[in-house]
Amino acid sequence: MTLSGDNEVAIQFPFFNVFKDGRVELLWSDLFPKTSPSHDLITGVRSKDVIISTEPQVSTRIFLPELKTPDQKFPLLLYIHGGGFVMFSAFDAPYHLLCNKIAAEANVIVVSVEYGLFPARPLPACYEDSWKALQWVASHADGGGSEPWLNDHTDFGEVFVGGDSAGGNISHTLAFRVGSIGLPGVRLVGIIMAHPFFGGTEDDEMWLYMCTNNSGLDDPRMNPGLEELAMLGCERVLIFVAEKDYLNVVGRNYYEKLKKSGWKGSVEIVENENVGHCFFLRDFNCEKSLELTQKVANEVDFIVAFMDPANSGLNEPRMDPGVADVARLRCERMLIFVAHEEDHLTVAAKFDCCRFVDDRSTYHLLHTQERQTYFTATGCANCLLPPAANLSTAVPILSSPVLFTLLS
């Protein structure tokens, strides 16, 4: 649409229009409903909002997993939402649900950053706000910070930074800063970038317009070179790209450049097949979303186990219990949920190969597939369920007496 005078559009970008008088009109805003912090009774995760700066206004939403002991320590993930640097919020329902899910599945404290957005606060505000949030987290490393959850429950030797889209880009810049100037009291183990934005697409000009102090197409925040990549201040990088995402190529380019840079850490790339950009924000329960969040959880579990001086390698019993470990269990009844038939067979083999406490002990595996829940009664001499039950017998677990039967 072209109008006369000040209402004439001078520049059209994918996310906003710029009028001749300098005004900026966002094409999308408030796409998602906001949600309040809460105590999730299903996962046990608690969340709360904390303002960390008033000038400029920077806040966070913190997610604390369920405590098993009063002094339990967790790894910490600083999460930075996406939205092209112009939209979305840490308080949007999809991001709240995502961070809650990561906190529960990875058993990690999540600090989700609410940073300044263009045009109210042009770039580099998003980078500075996110760095301020990471520094705020680090200020708790000696136990004297302003937030009790971080003082009491964070293991500052196991800190991660991650984000999606624009948040993936910001995550990279934070790791570069840590490598350049350090972050006292904190060990940044890794960064996790989901469908990250970097230069090399039609969005380059939009980023240059939004960033008031850019240095052109080779600005290291948009297009990091080998020298900048070699300085990343973390030990591991995990990159997700989506097969049908136009940013797929820039994520792959980042991966290849990082391998050539001389950086001493390890990098892995995972492609989400047959899906588009940030698909997981639209459907948390689809198979690909579950795979992505489980991969994030596995990444944290893997690194934490290998950083533990008490671990015993790939066969660490806390990660992969063997038959002998299972045989030492001291309980009479066990209920196990498995997501794939392969997992069902693996778990069943371990329990069937050992003498689980005594002949009276039973175990039950519930197999979830395509959002349905099925049950098997395997190795249960005194099971109250039909012994011939198999994966073709559907059980709506939350509306069925089966769960109560198994635990009775």
Residues that are catalytic: 165, 245, 277
Q: Strand 74-80 vs strand 154-164: parallel, antiparallel, or unpaired? A: parallel
Q: Nearest Cα to 65, choosing from 112, 96, 106, 107?
A: 107
Radius of gyration of the chain (CA): 24
Say how far apart CA 18 and CA 8 lie, in whole Å: 9
3-state secondary structure of 157: strand
Q: How is the chain split among helix, strand and coil, in percent rounded to 5?
A: 30, 25, 45
How remote is the C-alpha of 258 from its chain's centroid?
21
Structure tokens at 85: 């640097």
Q: Would the CA dihedral through 104, 108, 111, 117 be positive or negative? A: negative
Cβ(91)–Cβ(34) below 8 Å:
yes
Residue 96's CB is within 10 A of a number of other CB atoms, namely: 24
d(C-alpha 103, C-alpha 378), whole Å: 32
Strands (E), 253-322: 266-272
- Residues listed for the chain: 408
Residues 6+ apart with CB under 8 A from 264: none
What six digits make up the tokens of 83? 């939205």
Which of 33, 42, 123, 134 lies closest to 80 in space, CA to CA? 134
